[in-house]
Structures are given as structure tokens and as C-alpha cells.
Amino acid sequence: MDPSSDSNASPNKQGQASRQHLVASFFDVIRSRLELFLTEAEEQKWRLVEIFIWLLFMAVVSLLLLMVLVALSVLVLPPGWRIVGLCFWVIVGFGAIGLGVYRVKKYAQQSSPMFAETMNQLKKDQACFSDPT
């Protein structure tokens, strides 16, 4: 038996173990980034559901308030002024709905952009893997 063949086999096994460790690490990074992406996707889904619920709630409350104000206008205002009062409340109602939509839109823009943390982690990974040293 040649002793030089044993010394060649040992570095080869070490290289293979090193490659296996590198591949396992790569798949661990991919798995963690995928989990992060799925978590952020779930957060975005619930955020959109929350915004939709707020819009629905705002529309229902606005319509109920408009109904009450119109009924009050019919009861309180004299017959000649009822049309003017009703038009006024309709304009106020549309203004309130527009303001609510603007506020919800502003709320949606203020929140974190979609998948910001995933993008930051991918940029870090790219910088780490592209480092020539």
C-alpha cells in the first residue's frame, strides 16, 4: 500500500465535506429567505384586508350618517329649502368619503413597502457573495 495515496484521499474527503457544508449552508440561506418572504407576504395580505375593512366601515358609517342628516333636513327645513339642504348634505357626504379614501391611501403609503426586509436581506447576500476577498 502506497502512503501517498492515503494523503491524497484525506484532502479529497475534506474538500467533499467542505462542499457539502457549503451546499447545505446555501440551502439554509435560501430556506430562511423564503420563510422571510412568506412571512412578509402574509403580513401584506392582512394589511390589505385591514385597509379593505376600514374602507367598508367608512362607507357604511358615511351612508348611515348621510341618511340621518337627510332625514333631519326633511324634518327641520321648510319645503322650499329641503332640496338645497339635501344637496348640501350629499356634497358633504361625498367630501367625507373622499377625505376618508385619501386618509386610507395615505395610511397605505406610510406603511412599509412590500417585502422591504426581504430586499434588504437579498442585497446583503449579494454583497457577501460578490465580495472578491
pLDDT, average across residues 70-85:
87
Q: What is the pTM of this model?
A: 0.55
pLDDT beyond 70 at 3:
no
Instruction: Please state, as a whole number, how many other Cβ atoms lie within 10 Å of the Cβ of residue 78.
Output: 7
Using one digit for the tens of pLDDT, what is the confidence trace for 29-40? 888 888 888 888
pLDDT beyond 70 at 2:
no
pLDDT, average across residues 41-61:
85
- List, as one string, the DSSP characters of 43-73: HHHHHHHHHHHHHHHHHHHHHHHHHHHHHHH
Using one digit for the tens of pLDDT, what is the confidence trace for 103-132? 878 877 776 666 667 777 777 777 776 766
The sign of the torsion formed by the CA atoms of 49, 51, 53, 59 equals negative
Q: What is the 3-state secondary structure (H, E, C) of 101-126?
A: HHHHHHHHHHCCCCCHHHHHHHHHHH
Q: What is the DSSP letter of 112?
A: P
Name the residue among 118, 124, 121 with its Cα closest to residue 43.
Answer: 118
pLDDT beyond 70 at 59:
yes
